[in-house]
A and B are shown apart, each in its own frame.
Chain A
Amino acid sequence: MSALLAPSGWVHLDWVLLVVLVWLLIGAAGALALRRLRLVATLLFPLSALCSLVLLVVAFDAASSVPEVAVLPIGLPQLPFHLRLDGLSAFFLLLIGGVSAGVSSFAAGYFRKGEGTPPGLICLEYHVFLASIAMVVMADDAYVFMVVWETMALSSFFLVMANHRIPDIRRAAYLYILIAHIGALGILLCFGVLQANTGDYTFANMRAQHLSPFWASAAFVLALFGFGAKAGILPLHVWLPEAHPAAPSPFSALMSAVMLKIALYGLLRVSFDLLQTRIWWWGVLLMAIGLASALFGVVFSTVQVEMKRLLAYSSIENVGLMCAGFGLALLFSAYGMTGPAALALTAALYHVLSHGFFKSLLFCSTGAVLHATGERSLGKLGGLIRYTPWVAWSTLVGVLACAGLPPLGGFVAEWLLLQSFLFTTGLPSSFLNMLVPVVAALIALVAALSGYTMVKYFGVIFLGQPREEKLAQAHDAGFWERTGMLWLVAGCVVLGLMPNQIIALIRPVTLLLVSGAMPQAGSGAGWLLVPVEAARASYAPAIFLLGVLASCALAYLLVRRLYHGRTRRAPPWDCGFALQTPRMQDSAEGFGQPIRQIFEPMFRMTRELPSPFDAEPGYRVTVEDPMWYTLYLPLAAFVERLSRLVGRLQQGRIAVYLLYSFLTLIVVLLVVKQ
């Protein structure tokens, strides 16, 4: 593979920069062809998908090669851009390339007519977003990191606001950029701590610094705050359920599948690579926050009534699980247990990859459903498996992967994570030993609840009877949408059936970060996934799938041969009550009601129940996020009170302002004189 790339004398970094450049050119071309929808949709987006495929191939090849550095003379005179492509960057470039290939080709078929923002402008923002994401994972000093990080935040802000004529969408985008900036502040402070007063902001310098435990912990907490705000962990998650539904579906897909992971990339880079010390309570803190987010996310996703909000809360849950995996790896690494640390890290990174594919598939399916029916509320959908079969069967694969069911990719990640939990009895601290089975139990609970959510999602949208008459005119996905979704389906299946090959790609990352790796698959045992040793645990997804399929096929053939295959169609069972309407099916609220009842203290719920004396009886229930009322609104009120207090300084009279300038001058003179 390298021989193919070598003749031109280029290294992988050069190829990635070429892809970034082509993306920016595509974006510029889109900006020039502002309202030409057909050009943008049928030429520019498919071209961008092609570039993503090139990026995927380059990242495959770069995963196992030596780190490459480059210095670009862009930037300020004394601060050029330092770039570095190592194993961790290559892995995330793999994710970016793989997911954006599917999403870009879906987006090619998604835009039918301009809604708010002209398509050419969306093309520009989209490609600036992709280019800045690719640059973030290659950044090797704090300056270029912050520049491309803010570019990523800004371009995604404009993408979220694509339908800017609707006030709710503007509000959601504003909340998003607010929390993104607060996070960026945390990241900036973290880099400030890491450079340890040397004035040199390159990552190479930061790696060489030896911080005291206090400052290292400060850097870690700042990084957790800053990158956590972008990843959407508790309690900085409030922007996620607003921004994801507001953005058009391809961008929600890209944000959820890729951007949240780039925040996790930042956390990994700081805590595993730039910080040389590891302290045990960092891992415990990360695990605790991850678990709280996961539980919160999954419980809230079960009670949602809108498609994309449900998926947004599910993303919070998955990010929480990844953080729990990273926290466990950090904990093991702090005690020097490199083998278990590598296992936990592999599990979390596998989850990163598989979540990228199945979540983008699910968001693309919501886009296809929205296009076919015009509805996004679960209460108005139903029975779409008959009218949009391509979308329905692709979504089934995504749903099974999201629920963590074998033999798809989500199960492999959960399996590896639970296997790594079984090692924790080797930890020196007995308190931690006891804590971890509880954590494993909670992870199992989260996984089971996500199965509940996914049955609700697929069943209410695609199965049953249509809840509105106009759903009978729903049209299936077009050619580009189908291509995108089938690519993502293929990704989910490959991640499920070929885990050893994917783990071979993750091996350089774990070697880099924790100096350990999972054992190599022995010869002839390439079909068996063995985390430690074969007697201890093993899993062969291909054999698993073959076993189930063989039993199904055998049963089918035997029944047809020995008996018969006659069927007859008849009306469904109605228990003698002939007046069955589609409204008698479970609604989205109804399906989530048992969970709502069990977890009632976690919600902030208002209910209006009908009484026998109402002239027009009605029922309404609203479920809200308690974080708003316990944390954000009091904080906002406090900030407002504080700013009103400070506002007393502005009297509006010139004499007072001159007095302020005079006082400041005296203070500055006194300070300078010292």
Chain B
Amino acid sequence: MSLLGLFSQLMAILAALLLAPLLSGWVNQWRARLQNKSAPGLLQPYRVLRKLFHKESVLAEQASMLFRLVPYVSFGCMVLACAIVPTLSTDLPLSPAADAMALVGLFALARVFVSLAAMDVGTAFGGLGARRDMLVGFLAEPALLMVLFCASMISKSTSLTTIVETLAHRELAIYPSLLVAGVAFTMVSLAENARVPVDNPETHLELTMIHEALILEYSGRHLALLEWAASLKLFAYSCIGLALFFPWGVAEADAPLALIMALPVLVIKLAIGGVLLALVETLSAKMRIFRVPEFLATAFLLAVIGLLVNILLGVG
């Protein structure tokens, strides 16, 4: 574990923490612009976070200790997830601790805890949110796992840093399995990050909420941590997508100059990704909740087809 490795690990965590709300703000900006509305400002998520941290936290009378713990657990899981995804560099000392499957487990852990917190207060909305979120999760999680398996089969490893290194060094040929897996991954990340067409992040109608219904009871610093965790999740998913499908520009070990270059490259890639996300959100309509399993089952089947294509072709 070299000094450079430690430095790149800290840089990765700090970049995630600071850039994630910016990414959410960027996507909101473009979504507003595409819908001919005036945008709230690029730094609005930071202002919202500061406002929420200053406010006191209002808890329901029957909320238990679990309810108060969950925002910290969810935030901690997302920070670890961002720490092990190779965003700026593949020289991450924490990456041997958790590979691709542990990453999926990390997201599942956060999801289970937030669902339990939603059920804790005992109102109808909490149960609704928990049930819907677990419904989205039970198909999205295997689909994500299969997409990561596709990449693992090509690079013969489930370690994310090895996957990025292998994929970054290949010539610019298109792997058919990764093409199919890319479509599946887009669908899964739309579902998991609560974006249109699965869930509308700006809705105020409780019966149309999935992710918002989970955090309906939270306020103050707890809500701030959960919102930050949600934007970290979007950041992590975007970085996973970039690492699997556009890994060029990520610094390798023992290359301090490349590390400095990696940050602008990441910002540019995320900016383009954010615009595309805003485009997809504007052009699609939100689905009925019972169309969502069909949508996710399609993603799951596409990921499995990607794996089969990999095995059939023998080369990826």
Contacts and interface: CB of A to CB of B under 8 A. Distances in A.
B178 interface: no
A175 interface: no
A551 B229 CA distance: 12
A621 to B, nearest CB: 16
A444 interface: yes
Interface string B155-169: 011110010000000
- Determine which residue in A534, A562, A594 has the highest number of CB atoms from chain B within 10 A of its CB, and name it: A594
A464 B59 CA distance: 14
Contact of B62 (A383, A586, A593): A383
Contact of B122 (A382, A536, A551, A562): A382
Contacts of B115: 455, 459
A568 B58 contact: yes
A585 B127 contact: yes
B119 A547 contact: no
A464 B122 contact: yes
21 contacts: A382-B122, A383-B62, A386-B64, A400-B112, A437-B307, A440-B146, A444-B141, A444-B146, A463-B122, A539-B102, A540-B96, A552-B73, A559-B53, A572-B60, A572-B61, A573-B216, A573-B217, A580-B123, A584-B123, A585-B122, A591-B131
A386 B72 CA distance: 21
Nearest to A298: B138
A411 interface: yes
A535 B159 contact: yes
Contact of A539 (B62, B75, B98, B125): B98
B46 to A, nearest CB: 14
A145 B135 CA distance: 46
Contact of A564 (B56, B125, B137, B217): B56
A538 B307 contact: no
A417 to B, nearest CB: 10
B146 to A, nearest CB: 5
The secondary-structure label for the interface of chain A is: helix
Interface stretch (A26-34, A323-331, A358-366, A418-426): A418-426
Contacts of A418: 101, 145
B59 A537 contact: no
A570 interface: yes
A572 B311 contact: no
Given A441-B304, A536-B162, A455 B112 contact: yes
Contacts of B62: 383, 386, 465, 572
A573 B63 CA distance: 12
A544 interface: yes
A574 interface: yes
Contact of B53 (A447, A563, A569, A584): A563
A93 B232 CA distance: 46
Interface string A402-436: 01111000010001001100100100000001100
A539 B97 contact: yes
Given A403-B112, A437-B307, A574-B123, A455 B134 contact: yes
B217 A445 contact: no
Contacts of B66: 385, 396, 463
Contact of A572 (B83, B123, B135): B123
Interface in B78-105: 79-80, 83, 94, 96-99, 101-102, 105
A463 B162 CA distance: 42
A437 B127 contact: no
A287 to B, nearest CB: 17
Interface in B103-144: 105-106, 108-109, 112, 115-116, 119-128, 130-132, 134-135, 137-139, 141-142
A21 interface: no
Nearest to B134: A452
A26 to B, nearest CB: 40
Interface string B37-62: 00000000000000001101111111
A544 B146 contact: no
Contacts of A422: 149, 152-153, 158
Contacts of B130: 455, 459, 586, 591
Interface in B154-189: 156-159, 162
Nearest to B121: A572
B239 interface: no
Interface string A350-393: 00000000000000000000000000000000110110000000
A385 B122 CA distance: 12
Contact of A444 (B77, B127, B142): B142
Nearest to B156: A536
A512 to B, nearest CB: 29
A586 B124 CA distance: 7
B141 A448 contact: yes
Contacts of B80: 544, 547-548, 551
Nearest to A530: B96
B96 A425 contact: no
B217 A586 contact: no
B225 interface: yes
Interface magnitude class on chain A: 35 or more
Contact of A555 (B76, B142, B156, B157): B76
A539 B98 CA distance: 5
B102 A570 contact: no
A449 B137 CA distance: 9
A459 B65 CA distance: 14
Interface residues of B, number: 81
A628 interface: no
Nearest to B152: A422
A406 B96 contact: no
A422 B122 CA distance: 43
A593 B289 CA distance: 13
Contact of B116 (A459, A465, A544): A459
B76 A591 contact: no
Contacts of B60: 569-573
B101 A415 contact: yes
Nearest to A383: B122
B308 interface: yes
Nearest to A536: B157
Interface in A587-624: 590-591, 593-595, 597-598
Nearest to A531: B158
Given A437-B311, A586-B131, A552 B76 contact: yes
A304 B121 CA distance: 23
Given A385-B66, A451-B137, A536-B162, A548 B73 contact: yes
A460 B153 CA distance: 40
- Determine which residue in A449, A458, A538 has the highest number of CB atoms from chain B within 10 A of its CB, and name it: A538
Nearest to A591: B131
Contacts of B220: 566-567
B221 interface: yes
Given A448-B141, A556-B72, A571-B61, A585 B123 contact: yes
- Determine which residue in B65, B102, B220 has the highest number of CB atoms from chain A within 10 A of its CB, and name it: B102
A456 B191 CA distance: 21
A584 B119 CA distance: 12
A441 B134 contact: no
B158 A551 contact: no
A418 B157 CA distance: 12
A559 B56 CA distance: 12
Given A536-B159, A538-B99, A539-B98, 5 more contacts: A547-B94, A559-B53, A566-B56, A569-B61, A572-B61
Given A405-B108, A415-B101, A418-B101, A572 B217 contact: yes
A182 B131 CA distance: 41
A591 B146 CA distance: 27
Contacts of B128: 586
A328 to B, nearest CB: 16
A551 B96 CA distance: 18
A572 B61 CA distance: 7
Interface string B269-296: 0000000000000000000001001000
Given A437-B304, A570-B61, A572-B60, A411 B105 contact: yes
B206 interface: yes
A597 B134 contact: no
A568 B57 contact: yes
